Amino acid sequence: MEKGTSFLFAGVHFNKKKFSTDFSRFQKKKENDELVENLSLNENRESDESEEEEKDEEKVRVKKRKRKAVGSGPSESVEGFSVFKSSKSVEATVKEENEKTEKKLSQEKKKFYQQQERDALFRKEHNIHVAGNTVPSPLTDFEELSSRYGCKAKLLRNLADLGIKQPTPIQRQAIPILLSGRECFACAPTGSGKTLAFVCPMLMKLKPASKDGVGAVILCPTRELASQTIRECKKFAEGSKFCIKLMTKQLIRKADLSKFSCDILVSTPLRLKLAIRKKKLNLSRQVMIFNV
Ligand SMILES: Nc1ncnc2c1ncn2[C@@H]1O[C@H](COP(=O)(O)OP(=O)(O)OP(=O)(O)O)[C@@H](O)[C@H]1O
């Protein structure tokens, strides 16, 4: 402005002495203006600074509030009444529970390993050799059949009547394996009681007098062995409703075996093959035993 209007005063001389009073007045005003300007500038600067300070303070206050909320937050208790558990107490309870489960697991593991050790010693004592993972514990006596597997008293009575008091090694180990629903491949000398080892679990698992086809099949390599096996089976199932049949020539001569049903069928491989192929024997739900 001053630059723009300066040409208006070109050549004009201002007599400061003559108008000294006016000049002094203007001078004072100028100083005042400068002062006011400075003051306003300072004020602005101060206000800016104070605004910044206020903002900083506010930030600190917010931070403090947040910290407080995290530290105590909703867990603050109200005069002996805690609405939510504090994070520390939750951590402590979780830790306690973890320790408890770990302790329980380690105890269970310990029990399992102790049982495995006992089983190994027992097997060694009775000359039983096993292969496979977590093989069920061998039977110590026939009473265990009722305590461990809920065997009916009738079967145990039949065994006692036959003079069968203690299980043979093959029976000790094969019976628990078959009752646990696992496959079993077992070898033992002649006359060591293999028949009872597989017939006992069958009699315990099958529902007697079922009309739903064939329950179980015992395959024997020869007719003599098949006859011997069925004799044994009938002895063990004495007095029960189990239907145990031998695949004879007469049975094969029947035109249609699709509706044939029995609980245990004892057969030789060839006769069974004939019955399935030509006489439509239904073996959809049976348990297959190979007695060789
Ligand atoms: N735990 C037992 N205690 C006493 N006698 C038993 C026991 N188990 C089975 N027997 C009897 O021993 C005899 C022979 O058993 P079994 O025919 O089952 O032997 P096996 O091993 O099947 O013989 P094979 O190899 O000839 O088929 C049978 O008369 C049976 O009743």
SS3 262: strand
Position 72 pLDDT exceeds 70: no
Residues 212 and 278 in one domain: yes
**Residue type at position 67:** R
Distance of CA 269 from the midpoint of ligand 1 (Å): 22
Which of 140, 142, 232, 233 best tests ligand 1's pocket when mutated (most atoms within 8 Å of CB)?
Answer: 232
Residues 220 and 253 in one domain: yes
User: What ipTM was estimated for this complex?
Assistant: 0.96
Whether 93 is in a domain gets the answer no
Spatial contact of 237 and 285, defined as CB atoms under 8 Å apart: no
Residue with CA nearest ligand 1 atom 20:
191
Residue with CA nearest ligand 1 atom 25:
190
Dihedral, CA atoms, 116, 118, 122, 123, nearest 10 degrees?
20
Whether 166 is in a domain gets the answer yes
Distance of CA 225 from the midpoint of ligand 1 (Å): 13
Residue 193 alpha carbon, nearest atom of ligand 1:
18
Residues 213 and 285 in one domain: yes
Whether 58 is in a domain gets the answer no
Q: Tell me the range of 63-72, 147-156, 251-260 where mean pLDDT is highest.
A: 147-156
Distance CA 248, CA 227 (A): 10
Distance CA 74, CA 68 (A): 10
Distance of CA 157 from the midpoint of ligand 1 (Å): 17
Whether 190 is in a domain gets the answer yes
197, 222, 251: which is the final residue of a domain? 197
Q: CATH number for the domain including 264?
A: 3.40.50.300
Structural domain count, the chain: 2
Instruction: Give residue 76's pLDDT.
Output: 46
Residues 179 and 248 in one domain: no
pLDDT tens by residue, 159-217:
999 999 999 999 999 999 999 999 899 999 999 999 999 999 999 998 887 777 888 89
Spatial contact of 192 and 262, defined as CB atoms under 8 Å apart: no
Distance CA 135, CA 45 (A): 88
The DSSP 8-state label assigned to residue 162 in this structure reads: T
Distance CA 267, CA 218 (A): 6
| pTM as predicted | 0.66
Distance of CA 232 from the midpoint of ligand 1 (Å): 8
Residues 186 and 210 in one domain: no
Whether 75 is in a domain gets the answer no
Residue 166 alpha carbon, nearest atom of ligand 1:
1
Residue 271 domain boundaries: 206-291
Whether 213 is in a domain gets the answer yes
What separation in angstroms does the CA of 282 have from each of 140, 191, 206, 213, 248?
38, 32, 17, 6, 17
Q: Which of 242, 246, 72, 34 is nearest to 152 (CA)?
A: 242
Give the tokens for residue 152.
Answer: 């009916």
The DSSP 8-state label assigned to residue 210 in this structure reads: -
Instruction: Give residue 73's pLDDT.
Output: 47
Residues 210 and 261 in one domain: yes
145, 166, 197: which is the final residue of a domain? 197
| Ligand 1 pocket, Cβ-based, cut-off 6 angstroms | 162, 164, 167-168, 171, 188, 190-196, 232
157, 180, 197: which is the final residue of a domain? 197
Please report which residue ranges of 126-183 form alpha helices under DSSP H.
143-149, 153-161, 169-179
pLDDT tens by residue, 238-281:
989 899 999 888 888 776 777 788 889 999 999 888 888 777 77
Give the tokens for residue 107.
Answer: 């105890």
Instruction: Give residue 44's pLDDT.
Output: 57
Residues 243 and 226 in one domain: yes
